A and B are shown apart, each in its own frame.
Chain A
């Protein structure tokens, strides 16, 4: 049966790859636009069916298949393959499900795009689905890195989908460079791990961790470097700056790649390699601390942002950090649960935001208002997403966040717990801020033309909303962590409600003035820093323009005018020397006669002075 599971997993992987090959190679098909979309959608839908079957009716046992990839003298140096276990089965379903819904939604969302552009879009989507599935099926660090980079490539291509917009082009390369910075650590880390253990594969590495061969000397550094990969991909401080800019891509892309799937790759990697991270407690401590810090930092930025997509982007950073903090505190199961539930409701929120933008043509929430009346359907599903993210029971966000808080509390990391609790409050606040400002409150413009999304967009929204509610009910019936203390349940609920009340008071009822609140002392400092994004973007821009480009210009100058200059100096000297010596060859007989005479004289003098000496 395990062999059957493995085969199913490979089928799931192969379907989107086949779609990509078809779209990539067959140019006429790609240039048909919607037809290309249908090819990709059919492939992903079939993959979803197989993935669901695998999850529900599979053998349930773990299966690993490995094939040699890099040959070596004493057996292959590296292998590729697939691993089917609890983690990868659940991820297969999540990835194919969200991919499918987002692709269907895209058909409606991008209906005005040119056919070749749309074909390109769906070719990238198929490549992304393949890469992400390959990543979750990876049985080794090396394969994970391979697909890790490929999903990064898809992200780059899709952020830059509107490639003639300078802002999109900039955001695409920024995302690539910053995540690449983390990936350097990742690849260096796995190479070091390989040099020490002789393998990239998880199974033997975990066995070594069990036996005690791991940790070896310098293991902490290795795991730290590997963690750096997750810092880049899952947008942890200080490499989180690319994710908000990545919102330059089409909104469905943000939903799929920059919320539900790719950005969770870092969390997934750390979860997958958790047995190794446990052997490096210092790194685990760091993961928890950085996670909590980033969660709070991103939440403050979400509170002051006016662009609806960027609010959601900061919220994604914050929620990813929740997961990281959970893993760092020793509860990877809770982190993984949050990864799954967050994938559902964050995709829902992004697609909802896309429907709003589609209807009103702006991203700025303060130019929206009272949208609930014009877009009741979109408003309802967005409300479901908001409640889930804010942590209102019985929606799944409540339970997964609850599981994280419980786990962190029990691990004894009180500081992390306090920061996460504060973040939970802020989360409720900024989400209801968006809700009140955009969907209720005063209307800023008459929205006669605004209407709910067409079916191709509405159906994925309702499906996601329905699944979110179902997942919540399933967790409420006892799927979640069983041993949460009652006071903690009460606290979580209180935090969410407090956030709701504050947002209501400030943006709906007008009881509290938001601007007055933001200008009281400790908050004013945070407010102005958060609005300037803590100067991190400026810092990176300065490092890039000032240090890196400046240094490269210096090296370029040295190479051209010193290293090569010396060579030219030598050749110029040769040329000049040649010119000088050429003067001797004047062609006049008298000069040559003088030469002969002087030469003879010198010879005689030499013979007289030296040869006489005995």
Chain B
């Protein structure tokens, strides 16, 4: 199996298959909505099947980067097309596949310009896959930008606007910028992320130059040893750059507006996978390439993560717009991801990676469901809804399962992630991190169940009639995501066994022998 995957260049196929799909959609499927969807389904199915196969075939005893591919691009500068996955990136590839597979079905009902929508969505996914599999920092950066830019069009054209009243001492600024509209959200998200990627680019070049300007390869840079002072500021640059994408406080405010305005599949992909890309960047590049700086700066990463956890949960509780609740819950959960990584313990780092996966699936499910509720009820205002459970029992059940995963109920993947993070937090150099982490799960229980009760329980709201449950292709997304949540919650070693082979050597590098 492994030979077969290597021979067909599995990672390249996974990465480029959606891109080919996008091209096919643009050039062959004009005015054939069904053909658009079929091409999209086939192209992401290729990636999904291959990533599941690669996941199964990954050799856990050998560990390290596998399914390696390399082709030189610019030999004079040491730029190469170099791909490979280890336990961490493999899980992220699997996550991307699951989310985009569900996302294609969740956008089945997109009516306006679905051809362009699907093409952009697939191009975006190629960028995401590319980030996770590329081992050359230059190519990594190209994919990274490819993952960010289509977002602008997707939100700006297919998004929906919310309602934010200008208040407070900066009220005039709100009128100036047009807060609440989808154009504002798209612009804010794009500018913010590009701002972050400037930091990343500087960091990459700094490492490239100080390692002798011969290679952009991750493996070569990993072998080089950098001056601790250089490490510190490059680590901070990476932390800010990737951290913006991971939604670290106080640089997170693009995310609620962006996720709330984005169309369903884009929210799913963005909160589900792109935010993980930020956390992945911090772990892979920040901690992997700059071990000394990581060891000396984790107090900062962990401290801010604690703010994220509690602050995000409290903000989520304050929201009256359903999409904003989910968006802020991502801010809170990304805090747990960063917290787990900052513990520098095996349990914590495993928990962090597992949380990336668990939260990705869970938030993907949430955004899919919210999209469905919006489609049926044409409203996102939580407190005008009520009693939807009778008309949409399937959606209510799935929402409850997602909520339980988010508050860390056992038998869902969220529990395993949170438990490991707790274990890591208490065993770390900063045991008090356990307190905000545990408090965050309680606050999550409060806001999630409150929302679920308001929307699905109680007597039916008089404002809505003719509600109906999910149907047809919409079920695919829900069933797939719910199944993943439960299966990985019951059998966490499915994900943790390969992850552990990557986190243990990483920690050994950071903490020394």
On A, residues with C-beta under 8 Å from B are 68-73, 77, 116, 142, 145-147, 149-150, 153, 160, 163-166, 169-170, 172-173, 176-177, 180-181, 184, 187-188, 191-192, 194-195, 548-549, 551-553, 555-557, 559-569, 571-573, 575-576
Is the Cβ of A149 less than 8 Å from the Cβ of B449? no
CA A559 – CA B312 in complex, angstroms? 9
CA A566 – CA B170 in complex, angstroms? 7
Is the Cβ of B409 less than 8 Å from the Cβ of A153? yes
B174 lies within 8 A of chain A by Cβ? yes
Prevailing SS type, chain B contact patch: helix
Which of chain A's residues have a CB closer than 8 A to the CB of B311?
A: 555, 559
CA A168 – CA B442 in complex, angstroms? 21
CA A195 – CA B420 in complex, angstroms? 11
For this complex, 6 residue pairs linking A to B, each with C-beta atoms less than 8 Å apart, are A163-B389, A548-B317, A552-B314, A561-B170, A562-B169, A573-B173
B99 lies within 8 A of chain A by Cβ? no
A69-B493, A73-B504, A549-B317 are known contacts. Are A150 and B411 too (CB-CB below 8 A)?
A: yes
Partner of A71, one of B434, B447, B496: B496
Partner of B319, one of A73, A181, A195, A556: A556
Is the Cβ of B253 less than 8 Å from the Cβ of A563? yes
CA A557 – CA B389 in complex, angstroms? 31
Partner of A552, one of B253, B318, B423, B449: B318
Partner of A73, one of B426, B442, B500: B500
Which of chain B's residues have a CB closer than 8 A to the CB of A184?
A: 438-439, 441-442
Which of chain A's residues have a CB closer than 8 A to the CB of B250?
A: 563
Is the Cβ of B453 less than 8 Å from the Cβ of A187? no
A165 smallest CB distance to B (angstroms): 8
B459 lies within 8 A of chain A by Cβ? yes
Other A-B pairs beyond A169-B453, A188-B426, A562-B169, 8, CB < 8 Å = A164-B458, A173-B449, A195-B426, A195-B427, A560-B164, A561-B167, A572-B173, A576-B176
B309 lies within 8 A of chain A by Cβ? no
A153-B409, A191-B434 are known contacts. Are A552 and B315 too (CB-CB below 8 A)?
A: yes
A129 smallest CB distance to B (angstroms): 15
CA A163 – CA B445 in complex, angstroms? 18
Partner of A187, one of B176, B422, B493, B500: B422
Is the Cβ of B346 less than 8 Å from the Cβ of A72? yes
CA A173 – CA B439 in complex, angstroms? 17
Which of chain B's residues have a CB closer than 8 A to the CB of A571?
A: 173, 176-177, 188, 191
Which of chain A's residues have a CB closer than 8 A to the CB of B170?
A: 561-562, 565-566, 568-569, 572
Chain A residue, CB-CB nearest to B492:
A70
Is the Cβ of B318 less than 8 Å from the Cβ of A77? no
CA A412 – CA B445 in complex, angstroms? 42
Which of chain A's residues have a CB closer than 8 A to the CB of B64?
A: none
Which of chain A's residues have a CB closer than 8 A to the CB of B168?
A: 557, 560-562, 565
Is the Cβ of B422 less than 8 Å from the Cβ of A191? yes
Is the Cβ of B504 less than 8 Å from the Cβ of A173? no
B33 lies within 8 A of chain A by Cβ? no
Which of chain A's residues have a CB closer than 8 A to the CB of B376?
A: none
Contact residues, B283-341 vs A (CB, 8 A): 311, 314-315, 317-319
B452 smallest CB distance to A (angstroms): 8
Chain B residue, CB-CB nearest to A191:
B422
B404 lies within 8 A of chain A by Cβ? yes
Which of chain B's residues have a CB closer than 8 A to the CB of A180?
A: 407, 442, 445
Which of chain B's residues have a CB closer than 8 A to the CB of A555?
A: 311, 314-315, 318
Is the Cβ of B420 less than 8 Å from the Cβ of A70? yes
Partner of B449, one of A176, A566, A572: A176
Partner of A565, one of B174, B459, B500, B504: B174
Could you mark each residue 383-416 of chain B with 1 if its beta carbon is under 8 Å from any beta carbon of chain A, else 0? 0000101100100000000001001011100011
CA A69 – CA B420 in complex, angstroms? 12
B4 lies within 8 A of chain A by Cβ? no
B172 lies within 8 A of chain A by Cβ? yes
B10 lies within 8 A of chain A by Cβ? no
Which of chain B's residues have a CB closer than 8 A to the CB of A69?
A: 492-493
CA A456 – CA B450 in complex, angstroms? 37
B381 lies within 8 A of chain A by Cβ? no
Is the Cβ of B347 less than 8 Å from the Cβ of A77? yes
Chain A residue, CB-CB nearest to B418:
A187
B158 lies within 8 A of chain A by Cβ? no
A191 smallest CB distance to B (angstroms): 5
Chain A residue, CB-CB nearest to B390:
A164
CA A176 – CA B422 in complex, angstroms? 21
3 smallest beta-carbon distances between A and B, as pairs: A556-B318, A561-B168, A565-B170
CA A71 – CA B496 in complex, angstroms? 7
B230 lies within 8 A of chain A by Cβ? no
Is the Cβ of B493 less than 8 Å from the Cβ of A166? no
Contact residues, B463-494 vs A (CB, 8 A): 492-493
CA A552 – CA B320 in complex, angstroms? 12
A71-B497, A559-B311, A563-B253 are known contacts. Are A145 and B173 too (CB-CB below 8 A)?
A: no
Contact residues, B79-117 vs A (CB, 8 A): none
Is the Cβ of B315 less than 8 Å from the Cβ of A169? no
Chain A residue, CB-CB nearest to B508:
A73
Which of chain B's residues have a CB closer than 8 A to the CB of A177?
A: 442, 445-446, 449
B78 lies within 8 A of chain A by Cβ? no
A164-B387, A557-B318, A559-B253 are known contacts. Are A565 and B346 too (CB-CB below 8 A)?
A: no
Which of chain A's residues have a CB closer than 8 A to the CB of B317?
A: 548-549, 552, 556
Is the Cβ of B410 less than 8 Å from the Cβ of A150? yes
B226 lies within 8 A of chain A by Cβ? no
CA A177 – CA B403 in complex, angstroms? 14
Which of chain B's residues have a CB closer than 8 A to the CB of A71?
A: 493, 496-497, 500
B199 lies within 8 A of chain A by Cβ? no
CA A149 – CA B346 in complex, angstroms? 25
CA A563 – CA B496 in complex, angstroms? 37
Which of chain A's residues have a CB closer than 8 A to the CB of B319?
A: 556
B419 lies within 8 A of chain A by Cβ? yes
Partner of A548, one of B423, B446, B492, B493: B446
B124 lies within 8 A of chain A by Cβ? no
B143 smallest CB distance to A (angstroms): 27
Could you mark each residue 151-178 of chain B with 1 if its beta carbon is under 8 Å from any beta carbon of chain A, else 0? 0000000000000100111101110110
Is the Cβ of B314 less than 8 Å from the Cβ of A569? no
Is the Cβ of A145 less than 8 Å from the Cβ of B410? yes
B457 lies within 8 A of chain A by Cβ? yes
Is the Cβ of A194 less than 8 Å from the Cβ of B423? yes
Is the Cβ of A564 less than 8 Å from the Cβ of B253? yes
B435 smallest CB distance to A (angstroms): 8
Is the Cβ of B387 less than 8 Å from the Cβ of A565? no
Interface centre among B173, B387, B393 (most CB of A within 10 A): B173
Chain B residue, CB-CB nearest to A555:
B314
Which of chain A's residues have a CB closer than 8 A to the CB of B188?
A: 567, 571
Which of chain A's residues have a CB closer than 8 A to the CB of B257?
A: 564
CA A184 – CA B407 in complex, angstroms? 11
CA A300 – CA B460 in complex, angstroms? 38
Which of chain B's residues have a CB closer than 8 A to the CB of A170?
A: 453
Chain B residue, CB-CB nearest to A156:
B449
CA A73 – CA B347 in complex, angstroms? 10
CA A559 – CA B308 in complex, angstroms? 12
Is the Cβ of B314 less than 8 Å from the Cβ of A551? yes
Which of chain A's residues have a CB closer than 8 A to the CB of B174?
A: 565, 568
B179 lies within 8 A of chain A by Cβ? yes
CA A284 – CA B317 in complex, angstroms? 37
CA A176 – CA B497 in complex, angstroms? 33
CA A169 – CA B457 in complex, angstroms? 6
Chain B residue, CB-CB nearest to A188:
B438
Is the Cβ of B493 less than 8 Å from the Cβ of A70? yes
CA A94 – CA B132 in complex, angstroms? 52
Chain A residue, CB-CB nearest to B504:
A73
Which of chain B's residues have a CB closer than 8 A to the CB of A559?
A: 253, 311, 315
Which of chain A's residues have a CB closer than 8 A to the CB of B456?
A: 163
Partner of B410, one of A146, A191, A552, A569: A146
CA A555 – CA B235 in complex, angstroms? 30
Partner of A569, one of B173, B318, B404, B504: B173
